[in-house]
Amino acid sequence: MNWKMPDSNHFLYCLTSDEVSLSHSEQVQFMCRSGVKLIQLRSKVLPRDQLLDEATKSVEICKSFGATLIVNDCIEVAKRSGASGVHLGIKDVCPVRACDFLEDDQLIGETVHSLREAKEVKERGVCSYVGLGPYRKSFTKKALKPQLSTDEFSEIIKTLEPIPVYLIGGLVLEDFDLLDPLGLAGICVCSGLSEGEQFGVHLPAFVKGAEKLKFAEV
């Protein structure tokens, strides 16, 4: 299993959405053309065969742009499409089982909502990165876990070290300012990229914000 994220400068992690007018592979292409390098294909409505088709198209698009594609939830689609990895929620397939099923070079991301879950992730020892949240209310998630305090976020992130942690949940452009104080690898954005069904309206600003952080590290 691949424990290392492909690039330490992936400050922006973008997720596709079922709520916009573009297909998932079209969203991926839009993201790649805008300069996004870390993308998650996330659909809760596509049948398995359509999800595989969209993932396969998206993998080829990402390869041509040097981007990393993660598939949400489905380890079978992640493996068959040749994606860079899978992201698993608390109620999805066991990460240890996913580790046994996937190729050695594929990533496993996990979602964490609490200190208890963070300790479980560390104990399993198969996680490549973590999505931590929710930071605030989000339109993407219909049933959110309780929001955490700043102190709780800090304790969880310290517990997860050295696993890279990406903040999730209703994030906006100004939230890039949280990276240094909390010790985050980056932020995950889905609904914040768009206005209603109009996909990607705010994406250029997020990419610009991530690029500023990248150049600041040089």
One-letter amino acid at 55 equals A
What integer is the mean pLDDT of 122-134? Answer: 96
| Residue 10 reports pLDDT greater than 90 | no
Asked whether the beta carbons of 112 and 121 are under 8 A apart, the reply is yes
Lowest mean pLDDT among 34-43, 106-115, 189-198: 189-198
Mean pLDDT of the chain: 92
CATH number given to 15-217: 3.20.20.70
Percent of the chain surpassing pLDDT 70: 90
pLDDT above 80 for 213: yes
Q: How many CB atoms lie within 10 A of CB 66?
A: 10
> How is the chain split into domains, by residue range?
15-217
- Non-local CB neighbours of 110 within 8 Å, separated by 6+ positions: 87, 88, 89, 95, 121, 127, 129, 130, 131
Neighbours of 26 (CB within 10 A): 17
Q: Are 89 and 98 in contact (CB under 8 A)?
A: no
- The average pLDDT across 183-190 equals 96
Bridge partner list, 111: 131
Q: Which one, of 165, 168, 200, 175, lies nearest residue 35 by Cα?
A: 200
| Token pair 């690029």 in the structure block, residue | 211
CA dihedral 30, 33, 38, 44 (to 10 degrees): 10
What is the per-residue pLDDT across 48-102, written as a single tens digit (0 to 9) for each?
Answer: 999 999 999 999 999 999 999 999 999 999 999 999 999 999 889 999 999 999 9
